[in-house]
Amino acid sequence: MYTVVAAKQLSEAVFRMDILAPEIARKRKAGQFVILKIDEKGERIPLTIVDSDTGRETITIIYQVVGKTTAAMSALKVGDAFQDVQGPLGNPTHIQVFGHVVCVGGGVGVGVIYPITKALKENGNRVTSIIGARTKDLIILEQEMQAASDELVVCTDDGSYGFNGFVSAVLQQIIDRGEKIDHVFAIGPVPMMRVIANLTRPYAIPTTVSLNPIMVDATGMCGACRVEVGGKTKFTCVDGPEFDGHEVNFDLLASRLRMYCEDEKRSYEKHRCGSNGN
């Protein structure tokens, strides 16, 4: 069992949780993820390890309530436990001295880009970060990102906080200023990553994205998480989760993410009705 030692609501639908997992806490590196399963009847879902504390032997995850499992997770209290936490999984982010790096995070994807940003900064890169959300209340990890970056720009789609507009507009401004960018990391919803990759392609700025396809085992035995990169099929769980954004087939990724839409709705409905009934 993997006990929840801290749980906090960050915004309307985004939650942060610290889970006791000593070995994973010791071993994990930026860019890696875990598979969690709440109980016997639960499904296995992948979530990025946002942070770890080897002293407290915990890992931190940040998740958005989008369906049954994440809703059930948000109801877990300190002292409750997950039946299974498997990890660390996936390849760690390739961290090196690139020079000037721009880290772009959208929505709950900021939780995924935060550990990478931190590692890039700690390794001597100059880091400009751009984070965005629909509205002010949905911005997460602003202070942490501030601390991990040389410069941080916060954007909201509705202009309720910071820059009024998409993260891509801020990136375009930086490029237009003629500032040299050696590498871009972009993590967030599929449409956002696609826009950023399309933006940097004509300037030949190397762009790394972290993909979030459907996963089951996450050890390379099933291919549920297969994506197309440079025309070749790759398994995100063992070959990724990070890939060259200029080579990723985002249409296929978006399409495959919709595969269980109906079932997901059904499961969530059943869960909510059950909760209301109590």
Q: Residues interacting with another protein, by CB under 8 A?
A: 23-24, 27, 37, 41-44, 68-69, 83-89, 216-217, 219-224, 226-228, 233, 238, 252, 255-256, 258-260, 263-264, 266-267, 270
Name which of 84 and 142 has its Cβ closer to another protein: 84
**Cα gap 155→160, rounded to integer Å:** 9
Question: In the complex, what is the shortest distance from the CB of residue 131 to another protein, in angstroms, rounded to a whole number?
Answer: 29
Question: In the complex, what is the shortest distance from the CB of residue 56 to another protein, in angstroms, rounded to a whole number?
Answer: 19
Check if the beta carbon of residue 172 is closer than 8 Å to that of residue 199. Answer: yes
Q: Tokens standing for 252?
A: 């296929």
Name which of 15 and 268 has its Cβ closer to another protein: 268
Name which of 142 and 217 has its Cβ closer to another protein: 217
Name which of 85 and 154 has its Cβ closer to another protein: 85
Name which of 97 and 259 has its Cβ closer to another protein: 259
Question: In the complex, what is the shortest distance from the CB of residue 235 to another protein, in angstroms, rounded to a whole number?
Answer: 8
Question: In the complex, what is the shortest distance from the CB of residue 103 to another protein, in angstroms, rounded to a whole number?
Answer: 25
String of DSSP letters for 151-208? EEEEEETTSSSSEES-HHHHHHHHHHTT----EEEEESSHHHHHHHHHHHGGGT--EE
**Cα gap 34→37, rounded to integer Å:** 10
Instruction: Say how many C-beta atoms besides its own lie within 10 A of residue 123's C-beta.
Output: 14
Question: In the complex, what is the shortest distance from the CB of residue 262 to another protein, in angstroms, rounded to a whole number?
Answer: 9
For residue 45, the cross-strand partners are: 36
